[in-house]
Amino acid sequence: MTSIATLGSHCSLQVLKGAKEEGFHTVLVTKSTREKFYKRYNNFIDEYIVVDDFTEIMNDDIRDKLNASDSVLIPHGTLISEVGIEKIEKLEIPIFGNRHILRWEADRDLKTQLMEKSGVSIPKTFNSPEEIDCLTISKLSGARGGSGYFLAKNSKDYYSHVEKFKKQGLMTDDDELQIQEYIVGVPVYLQYFQSTMKDELELFGIDKRYETNVDSLGRIPSIDQTELKLSPTYIVVGNIPLVLRESLLVEVYDIGDNFVTASKELVPPGMPGPFCMEGVYDSNGKFVAFEFSARIVAGTNIFTTGSPYSYLNYGPNMNMGRRIALEIKDAIKANRLDDLIT
């Protein structure tokens, strides 16, 4: 019997709860430090594999345990950040979706290439600080969760931030920064599911992130901001549900469909399963994407009992974790599981 497995972090509770609801045996790989926490959910987690470090998933004994229970591993952000792309590509366990596209998410150049191919608007990038001619956001390579970012209006501004980062030990001479036009507007995260079984794109939910400290700067009067020399940081602390004006949804589907088509061409088998387009609606109401995630995002956790969009297709109680399990169930019934995994 097929099991659904994931690492204990990120969205694992949603994924395994959904898997259980669709009738699967569920397996959680958890760090020993979180074992007690995850055991609180043993009403839907059937099996625990305890490790000290998630890279142990590469070890023969853990691999054998997962394969013994016929596990399909659901990838999420923690698998990428803590195990790493090189190892994920070599992992001898079936992974739901296209494991090769995860490299395109993690590598800034490949990411830009795929977004350009999909035709979505993206912010202008600057090859050198001297070219900066508008408000920019600089992103330290490998920065996760929005730390290691700064805003600069010109090259002088840029270099003074770099100096500050170096003094604070946040970066070294070897670190690379991506300089991107800063898009002023409303940040929006579009959560999609591309079904292989139905050959159809589903809009699954929309959220906005609550980031510290940028989302709290507006609570401080500008005079105090200036005196305190406050700089924004973009560390995600939570997610807030959002519905878009219905008239925007037509383009939202086009953005998703075009991304699926481009990924099929550049990274076969493409973008099956969950993914997220991350961007800003600018002052003209145009969506400009600065990122994508090629797997389930933690923002789906707000819709454990369903989102206003999943409700339209499935009624209540369909979440992204459950949708993944349903897809796997449909594939098993049709003897097509190989079409969903890499």
Binding region for ligand AMP (CB under 6 A)? 123, 137, 146, 149, 180, 182-183, 187, 209, 211, 234, 278, 280, 290-291
Distances (CA, A) of 141 to 132, 160, 177, 294: 19, 18, 6, 18
Question: Closest CB to ligand AMP among 284 and 335?
Answer: 284
- Least Å distance, CB 122 to ligand AMP, is 8
Are 35 and 50 in contact, with CB atoms under 8 Å apart? yes
CA neighbours closer than 13 Å in the CB half-sphere of residue 137: 18
| 281 vs 311, beta carbon nearer ligand AMP | 281
DSSP string, 212-277: EEGGGGGGS-HHHHHHHT----EEEEEEEE----GGGHHHHHHHHHHHHHHHHHHSTT---EEEEE
Taking CA atoms, 213 is separated from 10, 147, 189, 219, 237, in Å, by: 21, 10, 19, 10, 10
- For the CB of residue 32, give the shortest distance to ligand AMP in the complex, in Å: 30
Task: Closer to ligand AMP by CB, 83 or 137: give it.
Answer: 137
Nearest distance from C-beta of residue 145 to ligand AMP, angstroms: 7
> Closest separation between CB of residue 160 and ligand AMP, Å?
20
24 or 182, CB closer to ligand AMP? 182
Question: DSSP label at 151?
Answer: E
CA distance 149 to 141: 10
> Rounded CA gap, 197 and 267, in Å?
19
Of 119 and 142, the one with the shorter C-beta distance to ligand AMP is 142
Q: Which is nearer to ligand AMP, 84 or 185 (CB)?
A: 185
Q: Residue 2 in contact with residue 337, Cβ under 8 Å?
A: yes
Question: CB-hemisphere CA count at 13 Å for 170?
Answer: 19
Intra-chain end-to-end CA distance of the chain, in Å: 19
Q: Which is nearer to ligand AMP, 38 or 182 (by Cβ)? A: 182
How far apart, in whole angstroms, are the C-alpha atoms of residue 153 and residue 179? 11
Whether 75 contacts 99, CB under 8 Å = yes
In the complex, minimum distance from the CB of residue 144 to ligand AMP, in angstroms, rounded to a whole number: 8
Nearer Cβ to ligand AMP (213/261): 213
Q: How far is the CB of 183 from ligand AMP (least distance, A)?
A: 4
Give the residue ranges of DSSP H helices in the chain: 12-21, 35-39, 60-68, 77-78, 85-90, 101-106, 108-118, 155-167, 222-228, 249-266, 308-314, 320-333
Beta carbon of residue 257, minimum distance to ligand AMP (angstroms, whole number): 22
CB of 182 to ligand AMP, least distance (A): 4
Question: What's the closest the beta carbon of residue 24 comes to ligand AMP, in angstroms?
Answer: 31
Are 192 and 203 a contacting pair, CB within 8 Å?
yes
In the numeric block, the tokens 């600065």 are attached to 290
Of residues 99 and 139, the one with the C-beta less far from ligand AMP:
139
- Do you know the residue count of the chain? 342
